[in-house]
Structure 1
Amino acid sequence: MKLFRHENRQRSHEARRVYALFEIVYTCVDFGAALCFTVGSVLFFWKQYETAAIWLFTIGSVLFMAKPTIRLVREIKLYHMGKMDKLADRVENE
């Protein structure tokens, strides 16, 4: 079984549930990053808010960096779930 395959997320009800949960987290992180960059951009119009703007850009960057990490963790989790399913099938068939 390989990572980033559509069939991995459709293998079972539990796999679909895990996939959906990770998609919700991914979307929240994506929205948070966009919000940080947008608010940070607006704050740069005023010198007094420059430090806050820099912090928002930094937080937004960390959130954007988290996005591929979330996807990789999701795929590894689905991969291991598939290995456990195969192991359970082997035990049942013995």
Structure 2
Amino acid sequence: MASQGTDNTLILRLGHEELIIRRRYEALSIFNDVLIALWFLAGSILFLYPSQEHLAVWLFIIGSAQFLVRPAIRLARHLHLKRLPDPHGGD
């Protein structure tokens, strides 16, 4: 179960434990950067084995595509869509 704190934190409750994520967009950006590094590291290692070059190329493509996610995360951090209440009382 997830809830949102008053200071824009995300709280995930897992049984008797809570995972508290503060500054969600920054945490998401860091997670994305770690994934990019893993794709490129794995791809680089696989290039050492000629039989794995095809997979290595795909890991580089995935890592490169994730570089597109970085500005999207930064933009989402700055833009928020909020539903305004209907002035006439309806939904």
TM-score (norm 2): 0.64
Which structure has more helix as a fraction of its residues?
Answer: 1
Q: Percent identity of the aligned residues?
A: 34
Query: Deviation at 1:13?
Result: 2.1
Q: Which amino acid aligns with 1:57?
A: F
Aligned with residue 25 of structure 1, among 21, 24, 28: 28
Structural mapping, 1:1-94, within 5 Å: 13-14=7-8, 17=9, 20-77=23-80
Query: Deviation at 1:23?
Result: 1.1
Greater RCO, 1 or 2 (C-alpha within 8 Å, sep 6+): 1
Ranges in structure 2 where 5+ consecutive residues have no aligned partner: 1-5, 11-21, 85-91
**Cα RMSD after superposing both structures:** 2.0
Partners of 1:71 and 1:28 in 2: CA distance: 13
TM-score (norm 1): 0.63
Instruction: Extract structure 1 runs of 4+ deviating beyond 4 A.
Output: none
Figure out how many residues of one structure are paired with residues of the other and give that number: 67
